A and B are shown apart, each in its own frame.
Chain A
Amino acid sequence: MEPIQQHTGKVYPLNRANVDTDQIIPKQFLKRIERQGFGQFLFYNWRYYEDGTAKEDFSLNEEKYQDATILVAGENFGCGSSREHAPWALEDFGFRVIIAPSFADIFYNNCVKNGILPVTLSEEQTQELMNRAEAEDYPLTVNLEEQTVSDEYDFHAHFDIDNYSKEMLINGWDEIAVTLTKQDKIDEYEKQTLGV
């Protein structure tokens, strides 16, 4: 996966809480056996009518957000189904960073495995970011090394992230390769418990 140390990009504000993975990528698109190409189906039922025409009242369809790379949303983002198609769709659409007051556990892990940085800020801070992004074209810089989020004006926030996720994201490591360096430990565990 692509490493991410620092990222500057335009914010797309999605002022909704409990956005579930059924909304991020509806089930009719889970039948594909590929990992790529899910961006076109991102938020499909919110973005399109059943005949495929765009819904004008859904903000992600606005021209100004087409090159957004940072998604800011409400609490409990990514709840529900474990489908990794959700981060695949977000990443394929162009999002590299998601900022929310809280994330669902499985979705959070799925993001980290795909080089998407989930940033947890307070409710007030995310609301402030959404307000600013709704008012104008709003670029934001997220620095993972420093664990900071800042804009060109006065917004500056620090965020917490566990060391392991941080290291994986910064280096873009293949986690399986990392684990296989502990193969002797797995062998030993299996010898003791399974007798093999």
Chain B
Amino acid sequence: MTQPKTIIDKIWNKHLVHQEEGKPDLLYVDLHLVHEVTSPQAFEGLRLNNRKVRRPELTYATMDHNVPTIHRNVIKDEVSKKQMETLKQNCNEFGVELADIDHPDQGIVHVIGPELGLTHPGKTIVCGDSHTSTHGAFGAIAFGIGTSEVEHVLATQTLWQASPKTLNVKVNGELGKGVTAKDLILAIIAKYGVRFGTGYIIEYTGQAIRSLSMEERMTVCNMSIEAGARAGLISPDETTFEYIRGKRHAPKGEDFDKAVEEWRALATDEGAEYDATVEIDADEVEPQVTWGTNPGMCVPVSATVPTPESGETVNEKAEIQRALEYMDLEAGQSISSIQLEHVFIGSCTNSRLSDLRKAADIVRGKQVHPSINALVVPGSKSVKEAAEAEGLDNVFKSAGFQWRDAGCSMCLAMNDDIIPPGERCASTSNRNFEGRQGTDARTHLVSPEMAAIAAIEGRFVDVRQYTEQPV
């Protein structure tokens, strides 16, 4: 019998173009996703060296980071406009398919890849964006790259990559009622820190992971980079295959059945060994809220803001102190006492139809708190349409939310969706870094459900108590 292998090793070995002693592996790339912010200098590099895109048919582009989510036909920011126009020109010149701002398939790159059926198990997928790890939910090796690497993939359809170490993140038991995939990944990062995944590809395993829907799996894999891992994936199963079935770029008929057999064989073999394993009990995970300036600075909603003394080293204590000052929080204050001004539901972490449904279920028939400016930004045009078809837009609008067009929006505030200095936002996005949502803005990462309640109450309330109350 052959030695049991992880899905990571299986995919890696299948994509080896060249191996040489003392060098990284030359790895073939099956799908290259492109957006407007990290690609212009790469296309320019091709032009300067008289190179072309080797496989335009394996390359797919969209506009998401810069696009306005309101009044889309007038882009006021000239620099943003130029960046979008540059992408259009580049895609034209190099023959790359583009879902531009007016295209019906436009959306956040990590939302539309799976939605269009471009993301499959076993693929190697890259994009000039660190949240490319999202696609790992399908059992693909998917990771973010810099612009030089974008240029390299455009020119050669390959990348030099050191063979990764493998890390098993084993999630035992089941998540409790009201506890989401977002809470799970935040709890994992809170427990093991923002760098435990550095140098590894993570595989998420265990019963709780098997029970997650595809969209929930995407939320988990999306934030692998927040744990330091460039890629995080989940072995494919029936849930994966059913999601892909019928998608536009998915194999059809007999080809689909054949593909499923191949995909099934990718799953990690019984007894395969990882370079490292960490575990967490899903049953113990509570709804999470970040209090600080990185995603590991996170506690359950029932907890209090930590004290600098809780840091283990001098540097850690200083880091907590700095975060408290930036966030304008008192050590020891309860999470539920934090007053909010903004709520953002969106981003490649939590802007899919199921996220919007869960948030809508909470706000239905209620009113946004008078102190709150609340925004829902669907992840793609097709998510927006599907949500509107079931009336979710009206649920949000009658509650007092703004209902916007698709894009990255307030996750990184490159467009006009910016939190003003000193103000505070409950956000379903992935990063609570200083200034992420606006200069001197303060971000608290939460699940869509927790964000929805925060919009109604103006502060953080445990979703489990909220949903137990009679309506």
Q: Does A175 contact B (CB under 8 A)?
A: yes
Question: Quick check: A179 and B146 within 8 Å, CB to CB?
Answer: no
Question: Quick check: B439 and A84 within 8 Å, CB to CB?
Answer: no
Taking CB atoms and an 8 Å cut-off, the chain B residues in 109-164 that contact chain A are: 128-130, 143-149, 151-152, 155-158, 160, 162
Question: Quick check: A31 and B77 within 8 Å, CB to CB?
Answer: yes
**Which residue of A33, A76, A82, A163 contacts B23 across the interface (Cβ within 8 Å)?**
A163
Cβ–Cβ < 8 Å partners of A102 in chain B: 195, 198
Question: Quick check: B198 and A104 within 8 Å, CB to CB?
Answer: yes
Q: Does A150 contact B (CB under 8 A)?
A: no
* Majority secondary structure, B binding face: loop
Residue of A whose beta carbon sits closest to that of B46: A176
Residue of A whose beta carbon sits closest to that of B126: A82
Q: Does A143 contact B (CB under 8 A)?
A: no
Question: Quick check: B82 and A27 within 8 Å, CB to CB?
Answer: no
Q: How far, in Å, is A192 (CB) from chain B's closest CB?
A: 10
Question: Quick check: B439 and A31 within 8 Å, CB to CB?
Answer: no
A residues adjacent to B (C-beta < 8 A): 15-18, 20, 22-23, 26-28, 30-35, 45, 50, 74-76, 79-84, 87, 102, 104-106, 109-110, 113-114, 162-164, 174-176, 179-180, 182-183, 185-186, 189-190, 193
**Which residue of B26, B130, B316 contacts A81 across the interface (Cβ within 8 Å)?**
B130
Q: Does B274 contact A (CB under 8 A)?
A: no
Question: Quick check: B77 and A80 within 8 Å, CB to CB?
Answer: no
Question: Quick check: A33 and B82 within 8 Å, CB to CB?
Answer: yes
CB within 8 Å for A31 and B83 given contacts A23-B433, A80-B431, A110-B148: yes
CB within 8 Å for A186 and B130 given contacts A20-B433, A23-B435, A33-B86: no
Sort chain B's interface into a size bin. Answer: 35 or more
List 13 A-B pairs, Cβ < 8 Å.
A18-B194, A20-B294, A23-B433, A31-B66, A33-B86, A35-B41, A79-B195, A81-B129, A105-B199, A110-B146, A162-B24, A186-B157, A189-B28
Q: How far, in Å, is A94 (CB) from chain B's closest CB?
A: 20
Cβ–Cβ < 8 Å partners of B38 in chain A: 82-84
CB within 8 Å for A82 and B145 given contacts A26-B435, A176-B155: yes
Taking CB atoms and an 8 Å cut-off, the chain B residues in 7-62 that contact chain A are: 17-18, 22-24, 26, 28, 37-38, 40-41, 44, 49, 51, 54
Q: A34-B41, A104-B228 are in contact. List 5 more A-B contacts (CB 8 A).
A: A22-B431, A79-B195, A82-B38, A105-B229, A164-B23
